[in-house]
Amino acid sequence: MDPGEDAAGLVLGPLLRHVDHTEAALWVETDRACTVRVRSGGGAWEAATFGVHGHHYALVEVTDLEPGTVTAYDVELVVGEAVTRVWPPERHAATGPSETSDDAEQDLDLPPSVISTLKPGKPPRIAFGSCRTSVSHDHEGNDTHGVDSMRAYALAMAGLTSGERLPWPDLVVFLGDQVYADETTEAMREFISARRDIDEPPGAELKDFEEYAHLYRLAWSDPANRWLLSTLPSQMIFDDHDVRDDWNTSHAWRRQMEATEWWHGRIVAGLASYWVYQHVGNLSRSERADDEIWRRVAAHDGPGELDLTETLDAFADRVDQQPQTYRWSYAREIGGSRLVVVDSRAARVLEADDRQLLDESEMAWLDAQLTGDVDHLFIGTSLPYLLPPGLQHLEAFSEALAGGAWGERGARGGEKIRQVVDLEHWGAFQESFRRVAEMVVQVASGQRGRAPHSVTFLSGDVHHSYVSEVTRLHRSDARQLQSRVLQLVCSPIRNPLPRSMRYATAVLSYGVAGVLGRIAARSAHVHSPPFRWERLRGPWFDNNLATAEVTQDGLFLWWAKGEVRDGQEHLPVLTRVCEVTLEAGAPAERRTPVG
């Protein structure tokens, strides 16, 4: 039946975001101002939309739920007397542009979307990964970008593909580059070309909020992925491609960008859209109540829709120039463990005489979060904290070189190398790396409460996956590690390196860099790291999504990819790339992966 011209429609979502034992947050984008109502288990909750640059959004806070329950939900949009149920969708009713190009994908018999609250005492199961481009899921898309591991994960969760039944995670952590503002797809370039001259700066890269809104629609509209996002709680953090490659690499990089006529518009649109599409859903209800932008939303009592455009743009401009005035990082407790997600991009200090990956307020906040008395401490950071050791040495050398260790000519060369080769991870911010290392060692040695079974970094960015572990402290350090200190990397979800670059990456990161990195670092008088670490597994270069499961004895880890069988491009089967079982409490020399 035609709902009438007054009815509102769903543009994007719903996305199930922060969920705990009794509360959940559901995010949507609609095509007009309206009230969004969520119905689940006999209850109903609603929120009015707010506007940003002509788009309409709502985040509905669902409260008073029962712990450990799984309950289906519907979404209704209310305009005056018109009430339209928009979720679950009618089959074949995909709306607007998306990465989907195969009609068979619209015919998926997906189960109802549900809200799964946390069960008290249940050890957590956390999926994680980074780097996902949005192209079609047909033969062409799979041939050029590989099978989307997120989509294969969704189909396995929904029980629509063969193989073992996938145990559902409690949440998924997307560790950056979920949208690419600088490396756009054909569909995104078509949209840009229809509204401006693509031969003028910034060309095929994103320019404003409207283009970011379209980019998110392309990324989140595929039916299977849309169902996953509506059912699996998600936490997110940005990385460079959410804004631009090498974002905040150095003071020189910022000067170059700020000298262009388009950068200011890009960074304002990037941070404003990030707050709307990703950040606000990361927060718990109490944290949102303290958020300066959300307070404006919560306080609005009509008449009409709140327009946040000017407020949000001014906010984005301010926090870019004064990052210490806002924190994108966040933390949460889950099943006896703690997850700390760190902003390793926007909070940087890039002055010539003060170079930090995290500013002082951000570092102080992180210091307060890294404590013991939890079963496992997970630290989500888009950039791997522990790169292959040789590459870590090269990054430390590049920082020293660009900082003048070999004079002015060496500094110019060091800056050029740093930007060309992307030497801008934790290792290229040595003071910050060492400060966090000391925090981690204190936690792992029991100086900050009972030592966890593990201190585990979850990361992405580098377009290959691996597992590394700290094996021993520096010989001058008499402390003993009681926790396993681990680095888990999962990248990409869907953006594989060309095969030629895979070989070069492996040789550089795990071969040549080992010798050259140590020699170079010593030549620039870079101090040795405070501990040593070794690779346990990897590297592998598949598109994949990883899962870390807390067990009675430690951690069970697995990485999975999608595989097309019998020519069914739209129904990839989830297959495991790697499994690792890590026992807690074993002596370092016996800590070998099993499985």
The CB-side HSE value for 581 (13 A sphere, CA atoms) comes to 6
- Residue 591, pLDDT score: 45
Grouping H, G, I as helix, E, B as strand and the rest as coil, residue 530 is coil
- Residue 95, pLDDT score: 46
Give the start-end residues of each E strand in 482-526. Answer: 484-489
485 Cβ contact list (under 8 Å, min separation 6): 440, 444, 454, 455, 456, 469, 470, 531, 533
Q: Which one-letter DSSP state was computed for residue 588? A: G
- Residue 592, pLDDT score: 44
CB 8 within 8 A of CB 31: yes
* Contacts for 363-370: CB closer than 8 Å, 24+ residues apart: 363/432, 363/435, 365/327, 365/329, 366/329, 366/340, 366/342, 366/436, 366/439, 367/439, 369/331, 369/338, 369/340, 370/340, 370/436, 370/439, 370/440, 370/442, 370/443, 370/448, 370/455
- Residue 4, pLDDT score: 61
Show me where the domains of the chain are located: 328-542
Beta bridge partners of 47: 36
- Residue 505, pLDDT score: 74
Measured distance CA(510)–CA(372) in Å, rounded = 32
CATH of domain 328-542: 3.30.750.180
The CB-side HSE value for 240 (13 A sphere, CA atoms) comes to 20
Series of mean pLDDT values for 10-residue runs along the chain (595 residues): 73 98 98 98 97 98 98 97 94 52 64 97 97 95 95 95 83 97 97 97 98 98 97 98 96 95 98 98 98 97 95 98 97 97 96 92 98 98 93 81 75 78 88 96 97 98 96 92 97 92 73 55 67 93 97 95 94 96 66 42
Beta bridge partners of 466: 489
pTM of the model: 0.94
Measured distance CA(515)–CA(126) in Å, rounded = 36
The CB-side HSE value for 211 (13 A sphere, CA atoms) comes to 31
Beta bridge partners of 307: 51
- Residue 406, pLDDT score: 73
Residue 329: CB atoms within 10 A of its CB come to 20
